[in-house]
Every structure is written in structure tokens, then in C-alpha cells.
């Protein structure tokens, strides 16, 4: 066969009945390649200079692109294969083709364009976060509309689709599709291999095949956004026993109990798997407690940690009068992880946060401890707490709920009260909820209510203003709307105003404020887990204790047990968190996870485990907490890391995390 005949044979699918199918597939492969190039140059500073790894990532990425692209057109391929010859070019054929083409182009263009802001925020392809957002259409659609106006998004999508169809028409793609009345035997010749290859790729390809290096950007470049989305949708829950490295249960609990116990504690049972402990305090104090979780409040927003923009003068002023944690690390990258850490005081178990899981009511939590002290707990949130299952989680731990209540009811088994934030109480609201000033007014309102009822109160207040689209009431600060730094400065302004307003209240002198971030503003970076991107501030303000800096390594799960220590409380606990002041020098550790990958930082060693049963250890160095993998592992720290995550996962799964 001469060169011309070979060329004609290869070009035939693009000149006949299958021209639309293969044109769309080729377009998708080209656009996916261009997106990969864009993402590469966007984060080039975090890419390892290993050309072979980069080539492998692009090759792997092409296979993923081919896999998901084939899935996009697979139904159309079956249609082309089975449609009777006499119907080719009919009105039905044209309607079906144009309808299917338009639908696929909407999916293709929207998914590719959406990857850019998602990568900008998270530094990865679509993952379980994107899957979760499908459930909460109100918040997500409003956020898109306020960040990127929907009419503009729709106009761009329509323009791209119309432009694509116009070009395909100009190239006679549709003419070829509707005029070539190939026999079914010819169609079988071309399409059966295509269908078989598509099905095999769909069955064989797994997202984890792209995770071949220690460099997060290289691994993510080797993936495909749409494929990653489907993969996350299919594996939104991860069973620890199935996917992660394990110890025997007896060994895991022996190591755990050795590491959990403090000098002022004793175990309540001789059972090997019972972690219940009695904590002996001192002279007890019983102030009201307001725990404020600030949205996306990275440590590097503070001048204390080198920021030059003077974004947080109020927080800095409070920190000088407080117990200030300067080496504190969030357990995760999402609000629900921060909530989990602060309320359950537990390492970040794999998969979804416990806040979002079913059967998460009645767990041993800080509510259990403050409830035993006769405190009235409130969860105060400026949006609809239906989002991320927050209301059911907090309600299931005995908190009364204060939120916007857009008609999403609590589960039938939740017996606590729910109070709606009325429209007349709101001066400003965006996609995620009311502004921080309005939210803090709710905190004061319910503090007044509890005081009038002569009940000590505990409030968990969750802010939202420091979140995209970064909008807030006008005229409050000297920075423009819509920017991250502006939202940070407004968040700080609202906090300062809240403290000043609270000072006028009779309950202020007997109220302690714990002010901590839920997580950092960004987790993107070079490594699978970027430790510096989990560094958050926390203060305990208005405590009857001299101001001090806690410069020891501290985990987010340790904040509340440390507060209880300052208050001199005697209490029983099944929490994993420890009072940092009762922790021996050298025993400090911080837990950090990102859904699939889990880690423990201890000293200058970071131990990392993942859902492929891999165990890695890294030496940690520099202010940026850079990682370099070590060959000779510290097996003691490996076992300690596994013991924490294994037991926490199993305790939730088998129900022993619940109150007895």
C-alpha cells in the first residue's frame, strides 16, 4: 500500500460518517493538552526540574484525556453504529447529532474552563470538593454568579459552542456525517474497535496511576479534570482498613495510649482499646466561652509572620494580650475539617470529614465536656447550616442552631432548637452568608439571652466573609471589594468591632474568646501535603492568665483541651487532643491530611501515609517547611502515625467514638 493510500485510509474516519465523532474527540484532546500547558506554566515554580517525569506526566495525561474523551462520545458512537442506513441524514439524525453535540460541548467547555479557578484555589484537578459542591447548588451557583457573573459565563459558553459548530460546518464535517451512508459492516469495522478500546480504557485507568512522584504538581498535571471528578465521585469514602497501612489492633492501641496520656491524667479502664481518661485540673473557673472559627485565616496574613500589608491590626493587638499559639497547624484544607478538629479533637480520618458523614450524632466531643459543666452550647453560622451537613452534625452533638434557615430541615433524630436569622437582622449578605458584623451581632444576641437565663454559654461561631467572592459592606475599610486581602482586612475589622461591642456587656468580664482559623487560604504547593500551607494562628483572649506565646508545635485538635487546662477543669475525656502545657517536651505533634493522604509532623520529621498503603518520611527544613524524602525511616514515628489514624478511623466506624 503506497503512502497516499495509507494517508487516505487514516483520514477516512474524518471524511465520512464518523467525522463529527472523531472531530470532537480530537478537539477535546487538543484543548486538554492546552489546559495542561497553561496549568504547567501557572505553577512552574513548584515543578521539579525532572524532564523524564514531565514527559511521563504528559503521556499519562494524554491517556486520561483519551479515556474521558472517548467516554464523552461513546453513546454517539453506539448511535452511529446502530442507526439504520436509510435514516442517515434524516431530520431525526440531524436533531440527535446537533443535540448531542451541543450537550457534549457544554460539558467539555465548562469542565475545562472551571479547572482554571479550581486549580488556582486548590492547586489540583477536580476532587471530592468539586463533587461535594454539586449537592449545594444555591451556595455554589450564587458564588459563581458573584465571582464570575453568570450572564458572562453563559455568553462565553454559548460563544464557544456556536463558534465550534460554525467551524465544523465550514470544514464540511456535518456534510460528511449526514451524506456518508456506509453499510453496517463498514461502521462495525471502524467503531467496534473504538468502542472496545473506550470500554477497556474506562475499566483499566485509575486516577492513582498518575501519582508516581513526590511532586504534587507533576502528579496533577498527569491527570484529567473530568476523569478526576468521576474518580472522586466513585470513591468519596475511604475505608482505612482496606486502603491504608495497619498495625495489629492491640499494638495500635498500646502505642496510642502511651502517647495520649498526660501527667495529670489516668485511664478509666484496663481495656486495651478504651482511651477514656480522667483529667485532674486545679481550681476550676467557669467563664462563658466563645469559640470563633475564622474562614481561611492563614498565619501569613499576620505581620507577626512577615506580612507587610497591615491586614490584621485588631487580631495582632488581641494577640499581644492573649495566649498566642505561633506554631499551630490546621488538620485539613476545608471548613468541615476545622470544625471536626475543634469539636471532636480527632485527627483527620481519610475520606469525608466526620462532619459530613452519616451516623455522626452523639459523638464524644467538646460539647460533651462543656455540657457536663452545665453550659448551653450554640452553633452560630451566617449561611444555611444545611451546607456541608453542619447543622445535623452540631445538632447531633447537642448544639442549638442559629443560621439563615432557607427551608432545609434538620434530621428527624436531631432534637435541639433552631433559631432563624431574620432578614431584618441582616445588613449585608453574599452567597455564603451574612457579613461578619451581622454574625457577631447574633453572637451578642444569644450571649445576652443565655445571661438573662442565668446559664453559662458556649458558642461556636463560624465566619464566612473571608471567602470568595470576597464581598462585604461598603465603607468599612480602605481596600476594594472582591479581593482576598480586602476580605481579610474586613474580617479583622469586624472582629475588632465585635470585641469592642462585647466589652460593653455585663457578661464580657467572665467570657473567654478562642479565636482560631478553620484552615488556610490556600493549600496548593509542591508537595502532596504542604505543611506551611496549614500554618494558622490562634489566640485565647480575656483569659485570667498573663499574656504569653505558645511557641511549641501544636495541632488544631489541641486547642480546646489546652483551654480546659487553663480553666483548671476536672473532666473525663476520650478526645485525641492534648493540653500543650501538659505535653512533655519532644512529644509535640501535629496532624495534617488532605482527604487521601494523611500525615504527622513531629520534630523535623513528617511521616506520610496514603490510600495505596505507601509510607513515606520526609526531613522538614526551613521557614517554608520544605520536604526531602529520607531513605532510613524512623519506625517509631511510623507506628505512632499509623496508630493515631487507624484507631480514630476504626473508632468512628464501629461506633466507639459515641458517648457511652
pLDDT at 231: 81
Q: How confident is the model at residue 332 (pLDDT cuts 50, 70, 90)?
A: very high
Statement: residue 11 has pLDDT above 60: no
Q: Give the chain's length.
A: 660
Please determine, for residue 7, whether its predicted confidence score (pLDDT) is greater than 50. no
10 has pLDDT over 60: no
The whole-number pLDDT of residue 192 equals 87
Q: Which tops the pLDDT comparison, 100 or 48?
A: 100
Integer Cα distance of 5 and 368 in angstroms: 78
Produce one character per residue of 473-483: b if its CB has 16 or more CB atoms within 10 Å, e if not.
beebbebeeee
pLDDT tens per residue, range 238-275: 778 888 999 999 999 999 999 999 999 999 999 999 99
The C-alpha cell 483520514 sits at 11
Please, what are the domains in the chain? 9-234 (no CATH), 242-653 (3.40.720.10)
pLDDT band at residue 352 under the 50/70/90 scheme: confident
- Residue 497 predicted with pLDDT over 50: yes
Per-residue pLDDT for 145 more than 50? Answer: yes
Report phi then psi at 246, rounded to 5. Answer: -130, 160
User: For the chain, what is the largest distance between any 2 Cα atoms, rounded to a whole number of angstroms?
Assistant: 95
pLDDT digits (tens, 9 = 90+) for 525-569: 888 899 999 999 999 999 999 999 999 999 999 999 999 999 999
Cα distance between residue 58 and residue 223, in whole Å? 9
287-326: pLDDT as tens digits: 999 999 999 999 999 999 999 999 999 999 999 999 999 9
pLDDT score, position 121: 74
Q: What is the pLDDT of residues 175-186, one digit of tens each?
A: 888 988 878 888
DSSP string, 71-132: HHHHHHHHHHHHS-GGGTTSHHHHHHHHHHHHHHHHHHHHHHHHHHHHHHHHSSSS-HHHHH
DSSP string, 438-503: HHHHHHHHHHHHHHHTT--EEEEEE--SSSTT----TTSSSS-TT-HHHHHHHHHHHHHHHHHHHH
How confident is residue 9, by pLDDT bands cut at 50, 70 and 90?
A: very low
| Contacts for 207 with CB less than 8 Å, ≥ 6 apart | 223, 227, 228, 231
Provide the pLDDT for residue 75.
93
Total-model pTM = 0.84
Per-residue pLDDT tens for 428-486? 999 889 999 999 999 999 999 999 999 999 999 999 999 989 999 999 999 999 999 99
Confidence class for position 15, pLDDT limits 50, 70, 90: low
| For residue 49, pLDDT beyond 80 | no
The mean predicted confidence, pLDDT, of the chain is 91
Local confidence band at 236 (pLDDT 50, 70, 90 cut-offs): low
- What Cα–Cα distance (Å) separates residue 586 from each residue in 292, 576, 582? 29, 17, 12
Arithmetic mean of pLDDT, 490-504: 98
Write down the pLDDT at residue 13: 55
**Strand order across the 626-629 sheet:** 590-593, 598-602, 605-609, 615-621, 626-629
202-205 contact pairs (CB < 8 A, 24+): 202/67, 202/70, 202/71, 205/63, 205/64, 205/67
- Cell 464524644 sits on residue: 364
pLDDT at residue 137, rounded to an integer = 61
Q: Specify the pLDDT at position 139.
A: 65
Q: pLDDT tens digits, residue range 592-615? A: 998 889 999 999 999 999 988 999
Q: Which helix (H) or strand (E) holds 379?
A: strand 376-381
- Give the list of residues 6+ apart from residue 473 with CB closer than 8 angstroms, or none: 427, 428, 435, 437, 490
pLDDT of residue 2: 54
Quickly tell me which residue has 442549638 as its cell. Answer: 400
Residue 147: pLDDT over 80: no
Q: How far apart are CA 73 and CA 575, in angstroms?
A: 51
Which residues make beta-bridge pairs with 536? Answer: 328
SS3 553: coil
CA–CA separation, 197 and 63 (whole Å):
11
Amino acid at each position: 500500500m503506497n503512502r497516499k493510500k495509507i494517508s487516505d485510509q487514516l483520514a477516512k474516519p474524518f471524511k465520512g460518517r464518523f467525522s463529527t465523532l472523531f472531530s470532537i474527540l480530537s478537539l477535546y484532546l487538543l484543548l486538554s493538552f492546552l489546559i495542561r500547558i497553561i496549568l504547567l506554566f501557572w505553577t512552574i515554580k513548584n515543578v521539579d526540574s525532572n524532564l523524564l517525569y514531565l514527559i511521563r506526566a504528559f503521556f499519562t495525561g494524554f491517556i486520561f484525556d483519551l479515556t474521558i474523551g472517548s467516554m464523552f462520545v461513546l453513546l454517539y458512537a453506539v448511535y452511529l453504529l446502530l442507526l439504520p442506513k436509510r435514516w442517515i441524514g434524516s431530520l431525526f439524525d440531524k436533531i440527535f447529532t446537533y443535540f448531542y453535540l451541543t450537550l457534549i460541548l457544554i460539558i467539555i467547555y465548562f469542565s475545562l474552563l472551571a479547572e482554571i479557578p479550581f486549580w488556582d484555589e486548590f492547586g489540583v484537578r477536580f476532587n471530592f470538593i468539586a463533587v461535594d459542591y454539586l449537592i449545594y447548588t444555591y451556595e455554589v451557583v450564587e458564588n459563581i454568579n458573584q465571582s464570575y457573573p453568570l450572564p458572562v459565563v453563559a455568553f462565553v459558553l454559548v460563544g464557544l459552542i456556536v463558534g465550534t459548530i460554525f467551524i465544523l460546518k465550514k470544514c464540511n464535517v456535518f456534510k460528511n456525517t449526514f451524506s456518508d451512508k456506509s453499510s453496517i459492516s463498514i461502521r462495525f469495522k471502524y467503531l467496534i474497535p473504538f468502542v472496545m478500546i473506550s470500554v477497556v480504557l474506562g475499566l483499566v485507568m485509575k486516577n492513582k496511576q498518575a501519582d508516581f512522584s513526590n511532586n504534587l504538581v507533576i502528579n496533577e498535571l498527569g491527570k484529567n479534570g473530568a476523569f478526576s471528578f468521576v474518580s472522586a465521585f466513585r470513591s468519596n469514602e475511604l475505608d482505612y482498613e482496606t486502603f491504608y497501612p495497619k498495625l495489629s489492633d492491640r499494638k495500635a492501641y498500646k502505642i496510642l495510649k502511651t502517647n495520649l496520656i498526660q501527667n495529670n491524667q489516668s485511664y478509666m479502664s484496663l481495656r486495651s482499646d478504651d482511651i477514656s481518661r480522667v483529667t485532674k485540673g486545679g481550681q476550676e473557673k467557669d467563664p462563658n466561652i466563645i469559640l470563633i472559627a475564622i474562614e481561611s485565616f492563614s498565619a501569613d496574613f499576620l505581620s507577626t509572620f512577615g506580612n507587610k500589608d497591615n491586614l490584621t491590626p485588631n487580631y495582632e493587638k488581641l494577640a499581644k494580650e492573649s495566649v498566642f499559639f505561633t506554631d499551630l497547624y490546621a488538620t485539613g484544607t476545608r471548613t468541615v475539617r476545622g470544625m471536626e478538629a475543634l469539636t471532636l479533637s480527632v485527627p483527620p480520618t481519610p475520606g469525608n470529614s466526620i462532619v459530613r458523614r452519616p451516623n455522626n450524632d452523639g459523638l464524644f466531643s467538646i460539647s460533651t465536656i462543656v455540657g457536663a459543666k452545665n453550659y448551653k452550647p450554640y452553633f452560630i453560622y451566617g449561611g444555611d447550616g444545611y451546607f456541608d451537613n453542619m447543622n445535623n452534625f452540631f445538632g447531633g452533638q447537642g448544639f442549638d442552631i442559629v443560621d439563615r434557615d432557607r427551608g432545609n430541615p434538620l434530621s428527624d433524630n436531631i432534637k435541639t432548637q433552631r433559631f432563624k436569622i431574620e432578614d431584618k437582622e441582616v445588613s449585608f449578605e453574599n452567597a455564603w452568608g451574612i457579613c461578619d458584623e451581622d454574625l457577631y451581632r447574633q453572637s451578642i444576641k444569644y450571649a445576652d439571652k443565655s445571661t438573662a437565663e442565668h446559664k453559662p454559654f458556649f458558642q461556636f461561631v463560624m465566619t464566612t466573609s473571608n471567602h470568595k467572592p470576597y464581598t462585604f459592606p461598603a465603607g468599612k475599610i480602605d481596600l476594594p471589594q472582591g479581593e482576598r486581602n480586602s476580605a481579610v482586612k474586613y474580617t479583622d475589622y469586624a472582629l475588632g468591632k465585635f470585641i469592642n461591642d462585647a466589652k460593653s456587656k455585663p457578661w464580657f468580664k467572665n467570657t473567654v474568646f478562642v479565636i482560631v482559623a478553620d484552615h488556610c487560604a490556600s493549600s496548593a504547593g509542591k508537595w502532596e501535603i504542604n505543611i506551611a500551607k496549614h500554618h494558622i494562628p490562634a489566640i485565647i483572649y480575656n483569659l485570667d492568665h498573663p499574656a504569653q506565646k505558645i511557641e511549641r508545635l501544636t495541632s488544631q485538635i489541641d486547642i480546646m483541651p489546652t483551654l480546659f487546662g487553663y480553666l483548671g477543669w476536672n473532666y473525663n475525656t476520650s478526645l485525641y487532643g492534648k493540653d500543650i502545657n501538659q505535653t512533655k517536651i519532644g512529644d509535640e505533634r501535629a496532624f495534617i491530611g488532605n482527604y487521601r493522604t494523611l500525615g504527622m509532623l513531629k520534630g523535623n520529621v513528617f511521616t506520610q501515609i496514603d490510600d495505596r498503603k505507601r509510607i513515606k518520611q520526609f526531613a522538614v527544613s526551613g521557614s517554608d517547611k520544605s520536604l526531602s524524602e529520607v531513605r532510613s525511616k524512623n519506625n517509631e514515628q511510623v507506628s505512632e502515625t499509623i496508630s493515631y489514624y487507624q484507631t480514630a478511623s476504626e473508632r468512628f466506624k464501629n461506633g466507639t467514638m459515641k458517648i457511652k
